Amino acid sequence: MSSINGKQPYVDSESAAVRETVTEHVFTVNEQVEMEQEHGIKYRSCTWQKTAALLFAQYTALPIMSLPGAYSSLGLFLGLLMTLVMALIVVYTSLILWRFCLRHPEVRDICDVGQVLFGGKRWAWYFTAALFLLNNVFVSGIHLLVGARYIETISHKGWCAVSITAIMAVVCLFGSLPRTFADLSKVASATAFFTFISLILASIFAGIEPHPAGYNSGEMNNGFLMNGTPSVHALPKGTTFMTGMNAFLNITYTLIGQVTMPSYIAEMRHPEDFPKAIWSCMICNFFLDALVGSVVYAYIGDQYMTSPAFSSIGNETYRIVSFSFMVPTLLFTGVLYSSVSAHFLFDNLFAGSRDRAFHTVRGWAGWFGILVTIWGFTFVLTELIPFFGDMLSLMSALFDSFFGFIFWGMASLQLRKMGKDNPKGYLNWLVPLVDGALIISGIFILGVGMYVSLSNLIPGILLLSIL
């Protein structure tokens, strides 16, 4: 297969014949690593440990604190079961993704994957690119918004929310400057550790405080029984389809993150080691998700639940201390997703040029300009859409349906057609059924999930238009 959209490594040769040959050649991973030895910027420099650090930073993040709310809607048993099922799906699809990238070493991001899946069609690349960039902007924007609201809340100085958001965007802009994921991984480990501390503190504080935020004794007030002791259910109680679907989408959003993985694999020196990174990350994060989600839900209960659950911690000091450890991750998550977007744009704008391979003025100016554009667009979007922070379920339905399910069912079926490493025995017919189920699940999430998400958003939009 020839190169995708002409994206090839820089070749230091003045020979037109050499360059023409390179255009038609698909470089293996070893060839890419060897060619980069003389380059000023070595992209294929990530070990599996550094890739694991990036995954830990990506998965050990704020959305985990939405799990107690999801468990409240689904019941503790179904909530934990759904978390386990989604974690297994993520591992299974990530390994499909990894095998697909090994078979196609020319793939550098999810957009290349989309083009290959749809037979090399150019429209598929543009379609995937649109979803990819919007997903990353929304993820960065939501973390930017939450961080700004936190600073505004604890400052007690009436600072302008727009100014705080702008300052955070500038901080994230400069945090995104490193050109390789290997460099970003150094910060990733620290942010994942801070988030772990934040989640453990939130769980401890929820358990040791006398009552959650908003608690009352349950006595009669004007003929109405107040909330009373926090209630916890193993199975859903009074949950509607709409509420249950929203809870499922929140769990999906917390665990689905495959959109960045092709970009990580494209910068691994030994991509065959990727399974070590994904297994270590998902095993640890499943237990962390289950622990935090169940403990916080058990102590806060159905009546006092908020999402994220930090707001349900009654003691203000406890709430501020636990959330403060989350701030580095709020910044780094935006940095990570914007960097993935910038890699994609830079690779296409400077494909095969010296500016991509070496530290040149034009290369750094282009990189900085791309980051300014990304963060400028993210900032404007968060300020222009008044209900931006309420779009979590919509994002999950729209983006995760493709990047978490549909793409990898298709990729597995394509790998099967290539005829190598196909499973034997009963797995030979079971795997295609699972792949088909992935595609159907993705279509279901896209259709029904979009309907449920929009049904919840539209009343708020109409209210804002009236006001």
- The token pair that represents 276 in the structure block: 């070590």
Segment 139-164, tens digit of pLDDT:
999 888 888 888 877 766 666 778 88
**Mean pLDDT for the stretch of residues 284-303:** 95
Question: What pLDDT shows up at residue 3?
Answer: 53
**Does 443 reside within a domain?**
no
**Does 420 reside within a domain?**
no
H helices of 316-447, where?
316-324, 327-349, 354-357, 361-384, 392-395, 407-418, 427-444
- Dist. CA 322–CA 168, nearest whole Å: 20
CATH of the domain at 229: 1.10.4160.10
Q: What is the count of structural domains for the chain?
A: 1
Segment 14-23, tens digit of pLDDT:
433 333 333 4
- Dist. CA 269–CA 258, nearest whole Å: 19
For 16, 75, 137, 174, 371, the CA distances from 334, given in Å and listed in that order, are 41, 32, 8, 11, 11
Question: What pLDDT shows up at residue 241?
Answer: 87
Higher pLDDT, 96 or 217: 96
287 φ/ψ sector (left φ>0, alpha ψ -120 to 50, else beta): alpha
Yes or no: say if 245 and 396 are a contact pair by the CB < 8 Å rule.
no
Question: What pLDDT shows up at residue 151?
Answer: 82
**Does 40 reside within a domain?**
no
**Quick one: how far is CA 230 from the chain centroid?**
32
Task: Provide φ and ψ at 355, rounded to 5°.
Answer: -65, -25
Question: What pLDDT shows up at residue 22?
Answer: 37
The answer, yes or no, to whether the previous bond of 230 is cis (omega within 30 of 0) is: no
**Does 70 reside within a domain?**
yes
**Quick one: how far is CA 148 from the chain centroid?**
20
Segment 260-282, tens digit of pLDDT:
999 999 999 999 999 999 999 99
**Does 435 reside within a domain?**
no
Segment 193-205, tens digit of pLDDT:
999 999 999 999 9
Which one-letter DSSP state was computed for residue 225?
Answer: E
**Does 22 reside within a domain?**
no
The 3-state DSSP composition of the chain as helix, strand, coil percent (nearest 5) reads: 75, 0, 25
Q: Does the pLDDT at position 166 exceed 60?
A: yes
H helices of 301-353, where?
316-324, 327-349
Q: Does the pLDDT at position 461 exceed 60?
A: no
Question: What pLDDT shows up at residue 246?
Answer: 87
Looking at this protein, which amino acid is placed at residue 350? F
- Dist. CA 391–CA 411, nearest whole Å: 29
Q: Does the pLDDT at position 467 exceed 70?
A: no
What is the extent of the structural domain holding 203?
Answer: 46-392
Mean pLDDT of the chain: 86
Question: What pLDDT shows up at residue 21?
Answer: 35
Residue whose tokens read 């994060």: 285
Segment 363-393, tens digit of pLDDT:
999 999 999 999 999 999 888 876 665 677 7
